[in-house]
Structure 1
Amino acid sequence: MSAGYLANHMARLFFNALAERIKPLGLAPAQFMTLLELWAEDGLTQKDLVARLDVEQATMANTLARMERDGLVVRRPHVRDKRAQSIWLTEHARTLQGPATEAARSVNALALAELSDAERAQFLSSMNRTIAALRKAASA
């Protein structure tokens, strides 16, 4: 089997397991990955999120609209660029950080349980290098 096929298959399995665990929190996987970026750096623009998450502009716009509707984020005018808006977490979104990241950790632990510590480290390193190579190729 090819690396692309296996990566896609693994991603779907991670996605499904994560979706199941964060659903009781009222979150979907696309919202969770957006929240991860905002928990790390609140006040990003939609353009920042598109670049960091490697998603289409329209996909991010729809995700942010749902998140705003669900009381997870608010949009405010950007301080330096009047054409842009900054995306800010609500207090509700902040309260979800612990339970949501714990749900993700449990999926990771389940998925990597058969690997030794050294194998886990190598696996994550290889994944990061592969992602970097694909990003480099996409920007060339």
Structure 2
Amino acid sequence: MDLDVLATPGHLVSLAARGFARLSEARLKPLGFGLGHLPVLVALREGRASTQRDLARFAKVEQPPMAQMLARMERDGLIQRSPDPDDGRSSRIVLKEAALARMPEAVVALLQGNREALEGFTAAETQQLVGLLTRLIANLDRLANEQPSRRP
């Protein structure tokens, strides 16, 4: 049986993710944020993480890209680093007032983009989609954790 790889869930989810990313980037850029900033902003605002290592774990990215993003965010005046009193090798990261002040507008812009992207979906369909995607992500995380490392 020939399966159309362009009609597979993986490909379609990838297209949807890229579409959401383009839409979100366009709406966040005027506010001085990037899409990759979101997990960091949320984690810092909610007190879920305050170190680079914890932020990388929360955002599910490796340490080097997180370090680069934090350097850009610090340069752009979004975050501030200070020495960690409990660990001299680490820094505590906090949001600066400028980032906190713009976050509500960013959330509104993102939620509006989601509403527009889901135009024509019923509330039940939207809830079902969120549930299905949440399960899909959990399955993918589980599979990734089960895979033996392919690093040399």
TM-score under structure 1 normalisation? 0.91
> What residue identity is the alignment partner of 1:17?
L
Residue 13, structure 1, aligned to residue 25, structure 2: no
Residue 45, structure 1, aligned to residue 45, structure 2: no
> Where does structure 2 lack aligned partners over 5 or more consecutive residues?
1-6, 147-152
Residue 126, structure 1, aligned to residue 119, structure 2: no
Q: How far apart, CA to CA, are the structure 2 residues paired with 1:131 and 1:78?
A: 33
Q: Aligned-pair distance for 1:62? A: 0.8
The residue correspondences of 1:39-78 to structure 2 (distance < 5 A) are 39-41=45-47, 44-78=50-84
| 1:34 aligned partner | 40
Aligned length: 140
Q: How far apart, CA to CA, are the structure 2 residues paired with 1:70 and 1:114?
A: 38
Matching residue within 95, 108, 122 for 1:89:
95
- Larger RCO: 1 or 2 (CA < 8 Å, sep 6+): 1
Q: How far apart, CA to CA, are the structure 2 residues paired with 1:136 and 1:86?
A: 30
Q: SS at the partner of 1:86?
A: strand
> Where does structure 1 lack aligned partners over 5 or more consecutive residues?
none
Matching residue within 84, 100, 108 for 1:102:
108
Q: SS at the partner of 2:88?
A: coil
TM superposition outliers: structure 1 runs of 4+ over 3 Å: none
Of Structure 1 and Structure 2, the greater helix share is in 1
Q: Aligned-pair distance for 1:43? A: 5.2
Percent identical residues: 36
> What residue identity is the alignment partner of 1:137?
L
- Using a 3 Å threshold, how does the CA distance of structure 1 residues 125 and 42 change in structure 2: closer, same or farther? closer
Matching residue within 124, 136, 143 for 1:137:
143
Aligned Cα root-mean-square deviation (Å) = 1.5
Kindly name which structure, 1 or 2, has the bigger radius of gyration based on alpha carbons: 2
Q: Aligned-pair distance for 1:42? A: 6.3
Do 1:44 and 1:86's aligned partners in 2 also have CA atoms closer than 8 Å? yes
Q: How far apart, CA to CA, are the structure 1 residues paired with 2:136 and 2:144?
A: 12
Q: Aligned-pair distance for 1:49? A: 1.4
TM-score under structure 2 normalisation? 0.84
